[in-house]
């Protein structure tokens, strides 16, 4: 029996695995293969997005895995052209069609796109979808506390998840504190560091990998988990997929968690969601 990640209960009642498979930048063919392989290893959460252009491949991989739909947790995200009350519902239907599914476990607004000015309406649309049961949990991606304030004030509906760029190089302390206060689960994307900067090459990470007898990536993933974060690392390599899931049998010493957090390069190291989005 393959091991699976433990789950966290979300604010609207769904249970989400703490670790899942990220699928950017796989194409349909690669996504189909990797998703089926990952589920065979014990992954139960698969994360995709309209913008990744691989939802069809992800859906085929889910089906090929042979695992019952109710045992899987599928997340997708939609772009700014669907920012509207009715448009969000259309985005969900299109995603379901591409994935070949009857419902989504988690649907996220991919970026707030404040210049577009419609993310509050998009959130109102997600709140309706949650009531309809077509979506089991709703959330945001790349939202700052100011963006979250606006949607919560407008609707009274708290996101289940905010998925943000987060690693020891980009720790997002203020946003994490905001989430914790409101019961929003923080889910880390680019958890090993992106934009050409990889945490796995940091001398401290290499030192800790030796100390714990783990790979550098396993050490960094454990850092996320020890901070109470959910995480969606991407790999298309079978051995690394297996290693990424094998992080629940050890913990980092609190001093080591703090030392890794001290690698933080500040908020400016994250993509600025007031300026970037799609």
Q: Give the dihedral of Cα atoms 190, 192, 181, 75; nearest 10 deg.
A: 40
Which residues belong to the active site?
A: 52
User: Cα 231 to the chain's mean position, in Å?
Assistant: 6
Taking alpha carbons only, the member of 128, 78, 74, 79 closest to residue 101 is 74
Contact 57, 35 (CB under 8 A): yes
Taking alpha carbons only, the member of 153, 161, 158, 87 closest to residue 122 is 87
Taking alpha carbons only, the member of 6, 17, 277, 273 closest to residue 137 is 17
Taking alpha carbons only, the member of 137, 139, 77, 80 closest to residue 112 is 80
Helix, strand or coil for residue 15? strand
Between 216-226 and 203-212, two packed helices, what is the crossing angle to 10 degrees? 90
Structure tokens at 190: 């680019």
Taking alpha carbons only, the member of 138, 123, 136 closest to residue 87 is 123
Q: How far apart are CA 125 and CA 192, in angstroms?
A: 33
Strands (E), 79-180: 106-109, 138-141, 161-165
């Amino acid at each position: 029996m393959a091991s699976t990640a433990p789950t966290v209960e979300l604010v609207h009642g769904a249970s989400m695995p703490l670790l899942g498979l990220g699928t950017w930048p796989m194409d349909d063919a690669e996504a189909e293969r990797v998703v089926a392989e990952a589920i065979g290893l014990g992954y139960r959460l698969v994360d995709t997005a309209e913008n990744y252009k691989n939802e069809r491949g992800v859906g085929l991989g889910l089906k090929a895995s042979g695992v019952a739909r109710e045992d899987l947790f599928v997340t997708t995200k939609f772009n700014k052209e669907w920012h509207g009350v009715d448009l969000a519902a259309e985005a969900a239907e299109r995603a379901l069609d591409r994935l070949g599914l009857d419902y989504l476990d988690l649907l996220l607004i991919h970026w707030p796109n404040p210049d577009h000015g419609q993310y509050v309406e998009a959130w109102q649309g997600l709140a309706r979808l949650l009531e309809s049961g077509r979506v089991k949990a709703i959330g945001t991606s790349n939202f700052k506390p100011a963006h979250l304030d606006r949607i919560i004030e407008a609707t009274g509906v708290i996101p289940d998840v905010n998925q943000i760029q987060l690693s020891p190089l980009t720790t997002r302390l203020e946003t994490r504190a905001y989430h914790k206060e409101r019961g929003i689960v923080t889910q880390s994307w680019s958890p090993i560091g992106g934009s050409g900067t990889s945490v796995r090459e940091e001398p401290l990470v290499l030192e800790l990998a030796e100390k714990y007898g783990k790979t550098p990536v396993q050490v960094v993933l454990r850092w996320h988990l020890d901070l109470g974060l959910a995480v969606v690392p991407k790999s298309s390599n079978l051995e690394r997929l297996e290693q990424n899931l094998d992080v629940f049998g050890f913990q980092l010493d609190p001093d080591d968690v703090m030392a890794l957090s001290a690698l933080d390069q500040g908020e400016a190291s994250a993509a600025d969601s007031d300026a970037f989005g799609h």
